[in-house]
Structure 1
Amino acid sequence: MNDASAGVSVEYGVLVRNAIKTYGVGSRKSIILENLNMTVKKGSIYGLLGASGCGKTTLLSCLVGRRSLNSGDVQVLGHEPGSPESGIPGPRIGYMPQELALYGHFTIRETLIYFGRIYNLRTEFVNSQVEFLSKLLDLPASDRYVGTLSGGQQRRMSFAAALFHEPELLILDEPTVGVDPVLRHSIWEHLIRQSVEHGRTVIVTTHYIEEARQANTIGMMRSGRLLTEESPENLLRDYNLPSLENVFLKLCMKDEGKNEIQQQPPALGHDNMAFDQSASQSDVSEVGIDGRYTRNDQRSPTSPVDFSAITQFDSAMNNNNESPAKVSSSPVINFASKRSRNPFRMTLPSRHRLSALILKNYLLIFRNLGILGFLYFLPAFQAAVFNVTLGHEPFGLRMGIVNDELNPSEGRVCNYTTECTYSMLSCRYLRFLKDNIIQIPFDNYSEALEAGKRNDVWGVIHFGHNFTEEFEIRRESGDSATYDTILRSQINVRMDSTNQQIDVFIEKWLIEGFGDFFRDLMKSCGHEPDASNFPLEFMDPVYGQKDTPYTEFMAPGLIISIIYFMAVSLTAGAFVAERKQGLLDRSLVAGVQMVEILMGYLVNQLSVMVGQIALVFIIMLWFFAVPCHGSMVLAILITFLQGLVGMCFGLLIATVCENEISALSLSMASFLPLVVTSGIAWPIEGMSFYLRTISYSMPMTYPIESLRCIFSKGWGLSEVDVYAGFGISIIWILGLLIGCLIVVRFRKYSS
């Protein structure tokens, strides 16, 4: 920046030239700011008036560095917001957003101390400011929780947070909404004192048009444009109207019907020097020999402020010993030195800001007992519900029995002999069925089949009229048995196979029952019981056990999925909620970096995750006796890494989504695809080759297999299936964190 423009920048607190800001694209494109020019002198109060939706809040967010213009130039305190030398966002600026942007579970004192830590203020200064602002703004006792305050008290508390560090520039978005007239007078009196006695620049937006008379300059805004920028006295005089509200209405009526207002940068001697005009024409009562002047307090005929302090309005004028009347035009302001910002430029996290964020997150968690219980006990509850409900053998399964061998009139009734007699073998076989099957007798096959169609029974077991005789002939004939004999000696079973698991269990029990029945018959007849077995013997397994419970297969996947998805939902939910309430913006304007906010969440969620993992492992391994044959340290570590993956994914969701609904929807949308593709409920080998390749690249697939190998096989990091889970977890963590930072940086500079 050249010397001339540097001098002008020193003179002005805020300069905006040809500002254009739009949202959306194509037919949905909406112009928020349209060729807007704005000039705010240092040490003055600037009242920005306009209806809701006219662009006031968007303009302020550009001034504090939270949004960027599509085109145009902004200088705040002599520098472009967001540049390293500007200090904005940072401690040079105090920002009060429209939202309350306060933590309801903090006390008044804790809230102010939190901002004191953010700004790295001395303890003595913090204590004195807490006492001073409590008296000035008539705040309740400092140990009151913010969430218990009334709406007006919360507005005052938000105002106190903006004033707390005594910034050079105060930007207040609707500070007096919901505040009683007496306190409103006190607030404006304090703002005037800050402006006059301490040279602080104040920009205030307000719906109370008449209270803006106490500002030095008023900017009346409509549809993204400044209709005028003048002192209140000049506006009332030039339009010959009794109130600023009437002036605003007249300007709006003039603007009505115009498609576009061509706004030229006002000359310093006219609109840009509205404050100086008010001094030279209506407020200046005496100009001293040193070129300085005093001004009468003629802000408003009904103004409650009686203020007559001597002020210095124009440093350039004073340095040149010139009176205001001699200044007639503005020097050209050069923005050519504006630097393009690198979205990837970052500074190291600040220790004091990071500690303040971590402490804040801990307080918010432990002050809310419901959330605390939810965080720690929901994963354990989910693990318990899984073990209680899944993997157990079904029981109480009704099966229809049609035994045509029974004929009491012929003396063919069930006998329960254990001797070697070929008599009523159907009854003998039915005795070996597990008690999980409830046998329901039917007189005929068609009746039993109708019961199956009505879902009264799961299936029908049918024995032919001469089952025992045909079975004996078949056994004695061996390979020479006829086809008719084979058919008549069969036990026919018709099942409802719509439920595959129950179908498999019943089939398994019927086969096992037949094996037990036949061995018992052979033993009672003096034959070798195992002679009739299939010539296929399953020996003791290499890993696991015979009839391994289904819970042991699913346990590793369940543990990791519980920790993973809890981390996703909680991290995304907390981050989005803080942004929606304006808390995130307030912290960022105070100079907190997004990297520090992400690190703060990671540290807090890590400590929560330690408790969650401990409880889940206790429930699964100790209470429900899921075996772990390998290293417990490795098992906990791979679960911990998966929790980190979930947290990073939750942060990415939060940076992409604007509200809780979209964040929750995206979290839920990711749940089912990850569950079904990661082998939690069904082996990956059941997928097609191409889908299997995709599955192995998912964040939970290899880690689940790693934990399964640690639990059931006792493997360590020397095995590929184990260390692959650790490697892919680390890759996903780094990739998601980089994605978060890229999204955050580009959203900031493209917003």
Structure 2
Amino acid sequence: MTESPAIINSECNNNGAEEQVAVESRNLMLTYFDEGKTTTVLDKFNIKIPKGCVYALIGPSGSGKTTYLRSLIGLKILDAGETRLFGLTLGHPLLDIPGCGLGYMPQDTALNDNLTISEIINYFGALYRIPNKECKAKAKVLCQRLGLPEESRSIGQLSGGQKRRVSFICTLIHKPRLMILDEPTVGCDPIVIEVMWQCILEIARSFGTTVIVTTHYLEEARKTDMIGFMRKGHLLAQGSPAKIMNLYKVSSIEKAFAIMVKQDKIRRSITPPSGTLGTIKENKTTLEPSKSPFSSNNTFRLKTYLQIFLAVLHRVLLIYIKSKTYLIATTLLTLTLISLSAICFGPTPHNLDIGFINNESPVEYSHSFIHSINTHIINLVEYNDTGEAEDDMKAGKIRAYLTISLDYTEKMISKLTFSQGSSKINASLASRRLVTLYQLKADMHSVTIVHYLTKALNASAWRISRHVLHHPMLAQSPILNVDPIAEPELEEDQYNSRNYFIQVFTMHWSFFVFLYLSISTFHDDITTPLYERSISAGSTPTQFILSHLISSLLLPSLISLPVMICIIDIFHATAKGSLFLTWFIYLVNIVSAIVTAFLMATMKLDMFIVLCCASAYDFLSIFCGAGNISADALPYFMKPLTWVFPNKHNNEAMIRVMVHGDGLESPLVYKTVIYNLSYILLILYILRLILS
């Protein structure tokens, strides 16, 4: 019974010295449980790859090749087993893997279609900390050698084979000590494949780079120093191509592999592969500490971190700048939505044509009522009979008409003095009206008309009580209605558009425009293979998050001035407080939206489902107080939800600053700022945990 793979001596080490091991793995296990079924991806997998060797790992789809390679980089956590690279444990600082010590080319091209050839190569060159001039010079030579078009060509305009060549250049441009190529030649023509293999062999021979290649083209494996044959998660055999064929007495790699598969089936039918190999000994002499960028010098480590961060930031900025949808939406959509809201919920409507028929004869204090009507809002048109007024209203010439009762003054005095008995009042006066208003439809204009007619009636009653009854207090309402938002009430702003709605809609639309846009941009970037490839090149999730946050804030910062001009100068929003504090709350509101979007984008769901979740969040925030709805009216079990909607608190703070002129000394304002900063930091911390 053979439990470990057949090992045939390799020819990688030609100088007669003791062979050094680049990659060694023992007893690797990975099992998935899905819908009650168990799938074993790696089954006590063992492998040893010499340093400086070009190693081909071949096997059918689903045999575990890609999973194993991802585990070397740290992108896949296994259930059990041990792996050492150059004698050191995975993630050891001296390895610089992930980082400059690795060149990783995944099955997908892992490029960004919006960037050009030069931009994507320069991006990886910056991640690997290659000087810009040196990177451009190398890129030019490699592009010419691999037959690529001009470097200004967009990645999205390239064919599949051309994209793989660009991806190949990004893998080897920094001459790493370990290269992992997952099916690098798929979709390439034979001439290009030959050139790619020349590059692979050159870098291995000239710089001692260890290269691991997976391929479905078995004849390609003849070019390598060693071949490993995988099936169902374990290694069947490994050795040089010539010795493999000699061992099985065949003329091709395909025939040798076919024999191995048959033998493995027989072996598995007798007993499952098992066996435990000894612990791998640590080899501390295969790497020189001086070559690693990680040293005890904290200044050097910080410089390295900043170099990588700037590389990621530059790439993300290019994505945002080249996205026409994002640029148009951030600049025009926010201003358009705020403007439409300010217009629709704008100042009090005026010049409303209202007909009236004064039936009082002789005319006494009914003229007081007519003269008390605000003529800026209501334009009175006099009629002699109701029939004519009714016809004009139906024809659309007037919006409504009113009739004044025959004994207007007498009825008003009776109501104010209760000069008749209560029974008579109930029987006659209470059932008869001083003024009757006729309208065809009820809308905001109707509310405006009723509001100003009521004010005119109150003014008329006050004049009668003062001049006729000599007791003006009789007409005064026992309740003093003080506007909770702003005083004094402006006749031209009955619905507090300037004092409330413009501020609320500015915060609401800016929050949700950037919520939706940031979800889309972040989700698109984080779900692409380029993200994992960037991690393998040494970048971190923190750098990725901060790069997107800074890039997302760039345009809002630039358009914040036009937004402020729009709401203050064009729509005349009240602005009594500090403009800097107003701007700061506006930006804090957007940052809260952006980090919320990032958190939603990390959900492992389809983009459509994520946007549906964002819409649900939008509507729920409105009903939890972000709109013109009091959170105090919510059921007790809903009130804690208001703390996950920062825009609710931001609305209140914006109104306090702009309308009331409050500063940071106001408890509501500084508590809102503290809450938002805490919310942002908490979400960023959660994001880092998720992506790490």
TM above 0.5: yes
Q: Which amino acid aligns with 1:643?
A: I
SS at match of 1:733: helix
Taking a change above 3 Å as real, the CA distance of residues 579 and 9 of structure 1, as seen in their structure-2 partners, is farther
Shift of 1:232: 2.9
In the alignment, is the contact (CA less than 8 A) between 1:699 and 1:729 conserved in 2? yes
In the alignment, is the contact (CA less than 8 A) between 2:55 and 2:213 conserved in 1? yes
SS at match of 1:17: strand
Asked if 1:91 corresponds to 2:100, the answer is yes
Higher mean displacement: 499-508 or 347-356: 499-508
Structure-1 residue corresponding to 2:234: 225
SS at match of 2:665: coil
Asked if 1:608 corresponds to 2:563, the answer is no
SS at match of 1:468: coil
Shift of 1:117: 1.4
**Structure 1 Cα separation of the partners of residues 161 and 441 of structure 2:** 63
Structure-2 residue corresponding to 1:379: 334
**Structure 2 Cα separation of the partners of residues 667 and 260 of structure 1:** 55
Cα deviation digits, residues 227-248 of structure 1 (max 9, x gap)? 4334333443444444333444
**Structure 1 Cα separation of the partners of residues 380 and 228 of structure 2:** 84
Asked if 1:53 corresponds to 2:8, the answer is no
Taking a change above 3 Å as real, the CA distance of residues 266 and 9 of structure 1, as seen in their structure-2 partners, is farther
Taking a change above 3 Å as real, the CA distance of residues 562 and 121 of structure 1, as seen in their structure-2 partners, is same
**Structure 1 Cα separation of the partners of residues 500 and 370 of structure 2:** 37
Asked if 1:732 corresponds to 2:679, the answer is yes
After TM superposition, the structure 1 = structure 2 runs for residues 241-260 of structure 1, keeping only pairs within 5 Å, are 241-252=250-261
**Structure 2 Cα separation of the partners of residues 667 and 38 of structure 1:** 47
Shift of 1:51: 3.3
Asked if 1:712 corresponds to 2:659, the answer is yes
Structure-2 residue corresponding to 1:684: 631
In the alignment, is the contact (CA less than 8 A) between 1:571 and 1:647 conserved in 2? yes
Shift of 1:137: 1.4
Taking a change above 3 Å as real, the CA distance of residues 528 and 101 of structure 1, as seen in their structure-2 partners, is farther
Asked if 1:673 corresponds to 2:616, the answer is no
After TM superposition, the structure 1 = structure 2 runs for residues 293-308 of structure 1, keeping only pairs within 5 Å, are none
Shift of 1:222: 3.3
In the alignment, is the contact (CA less than 8 A) between 1:13 and 1:76 conserved in 2? yes
Q: 462, 477, 483: which is aligned to 1:535?
A: 477
In the alignment, is the contact (CA less than 8 A) between 2:114 and 2:154 conserved in 1? yes
Taking a change above 3 Å as real, the CA distance of residues 108 and 362 of structure 1, as seen in their structure-2 partners, is same
Asked if 1:351 corresponds to 2:303, the answer is no
**Structure 1 Cα separation of the partners of residues 346 and 195 of structure 2:** 69
Asked if 1:367 corresponds to 2:309, the answer is no
Asked if 1:117 corresponds to 2:63, the answer is no
Taking a change above 3 Å as real, the CA distance of residues 550 and 657 of structure 1, as seen in their structure-2 partners, is farther
SS at match of 1:111: helix
Structure-2 residue corresponding to 1:550: 496
Taking a change above 3 Å as real, the CA distance of residues 419 and 683 of structure 1, as seen in their structure-2 partners, is farther
In the alignment, is the contact (CA less than 8 A) between 1:176 and 1:184 conserved in 2? yes
Shift of 1:39: 2.1
After TM superposition, the structure 1 = structure 2 runs for residues 444-593 of structure 1, keeping only pairs within 5 Å, are 468=406, 472=410, 475-476=413-414, 478-479=417-418, 480-481=420-421, 482=424, 483-490=426-433, 505=448, 507-509=450-452, 511-512=454-455, 514-515=457-458, 533-536=475-478, 538=480, 543-546=486-489, 548=493, 549-551=495-497, 552-593=499-540
Q: Which amino acid aligns with 1:668?
A: S
Higher mean displacement: 673-682 or 717-726: 673-682
Structure-2 residue corresponding to 1:13: 22
Equivalenced residues, count: 642
Cα deviation digits, residues 633-677 of structure 1 (max 9, x gap)? 111112222222223223333344465345434433322222332
Taking a change above 3 Å as real, the CA distance of residues 686 and 735 of structure 1, as seen in their structure-2 partners, is same
**Structure 2 Cα separation of the partners of residues 259 and 585 of structure 1:** 39
Q: 545, 550, 568: which is aligned to 1:621?
A: 568
Taking a change above 3 Å as real, the CA distance of residues 233 and 67 of structure 1, as seen in their structure-2 partners, is same
SS at match of 2:111: coil
Shift of 1:499: 8.3
Structure-2 residue corresponding to 1:306: none
Shift of 1:392: 5.2
**Structure 2 Cα separation of the partners of residues 261 and 618 of structure 1:** 78
**Structure 2 Cα separation of the partners of residues 500 and 335 of structure 1:** 81
Structure-2 residue corresponding to 1:191: 200
Higher mean displacement: 537-546 or 195-204: 537-546
Q: Which amino acid aligns with 1:62?
A: S
Structure-1 residue corresponding to 2:345: 390
Shift of 1:86: 2.4
Taking a change above 3 Å as real, the CA distance of residues 470 and 369 of structure 1, as seen in their structure-2 partners, is closer
Taking a change above 3 Å as real, the CA distance of residues 541 and 496 of structure 1, as seen in their structure-2 partners, is closer
Q: Which amino acid aligns with 1:384?
A: S
In the alignment, is the contact (CA less than 8 A) between 1:91 and 1:167 conserved in 2? yes
**Structure 2 Cα separation of the partners of residues 164 and 625 of structure 1:** 58
In the alignment, is the contact (CA less than 8 A) between 2:123 and 2:315 conserved in 1? yes
Q: Which amino acid aligns with 1:670?
A: Y
Cα deviation digits, residues 307-361 of structure 1 (max 9, x gap)? xxxxxxxxxxxxxxxxxxxxxxxx8624799xxxxxxxx9857121122122222
Higher mean displacement: 250-259 or 672-681: 250-259
**Structure 2 Cα separation of the partners of residues 99 and 499 of structure 1:** 61
Asked if 1:159 corresponds to 2:188, the answer is no
Taking a change above 3 Å as real, the CA distance of residues 21 and 502 of structure 1, as seen in their structure-2 partners, is farther
**Structure 2 Cα separation of the partners of residues 724 and 568 of structure 1:** 23
In the alignment, is the contact (CA less than 8 A) between 2:229 and 2:236 conserved in 1? yes
Structure-2 residue corresponding to 1:137: 146
Q: Which amino acid aligns with 1:102?
A: L
TM-score by length of 1: 0.74
Q: Which amino acid aligns with 2:575?
A: C
Shift of 1:620: 1.2
Shift of 1:26: 6.6
Shift of 1:89: 0.3
Q: Which amino acid aligns with 2:586?
A: T
**Structure 1 Cα separation of the partners of residues 92 and 442 of structure 2:** 65
In the alignment, is the contact (CA less than 8 A) between 1:162 and 1:170 conserved in 2? yes
After TM superposition, the structure 1 = structure 2 runs for residues 34-113 of structure 1, keeping only pairs within 5 Å, are 34-113=43-122
Structure-1 residue corresponding to 2:180: 171
Taking a change above 3 Å as real, the CA distance of residues 255 and 636 of structure 1, as seen in their structure-2 partners, is same
SS at match of 1:700: helix
TM-score by length of 2: 0.79
Shift of 1:694: 4.7
In the alignment, is the contact (CA less than 8 A) between 2:204 and 2:210 conserved in 1? yes
Higher mean displacement: 84-93 or 497-506: 497-506
In the alignment, is the contact (CA less than 8 A) between 1:468 and 1:489 conserved in 2? no
SS at match of 1:31: strand
Cα deviation digits, residues 434-469 of structure 1 (max 9, x gap)? 7599999999xxx99xxx9xxx9xx999989xx636
Shift of 1:135: 2.7
**Structure 1 Cα separation of the partners of residues 611 and 259 of structure 2:** 47
Q: 41, 48, 64: which is aligned to 1:32?
A: 41
**Structure 2 Cα separation of the partners of residues 674 and 161 of structure 1:** 45
In the alignment, is the contact (CA less than 8 A) between 2:117 and 2:152 conserved in 1? yes
**Structure 2 Cα separation of the partners of residues 742 and 437 of structure 1:** 67
Higher mean displacement: 103-112 or 162-171: 103-112
In the alignment, is the contact (CA less than 8 A) between 2:621 and 2:627 conserved in 1? no
In the alignment, is the contact (CA less than 8 A) between 1:704 and 1:725 conserved in 2? no
In the alignment, is the contact (CA less than 8 A) between 1:462 and 1:492 conserved in 2? yes
In the alignment, is the contact (CA less than 8 A) between 2:330 and 2:514 conserved in 1? no
Cα deviation digits, residues 246-305 of structure 1 (max 9, x gap)? 4444544555695897445799xxxxxxxxxxxxxxxxxxxxxxxxxxxxxxxxxxxxxx
Shift of 1:28: 5.8
In structure 2, runs of 5+ residues without a counterpart are: 1-16, 285-297
In the alignment, is the contact (CA less than 8 A) between 2:250 and 2:256 conserved in 1? yes
Taking a change above 3 Å as real, the CA distance of residues 260 and 150 of structure 1, as seen in their structure-2 partners, is farther
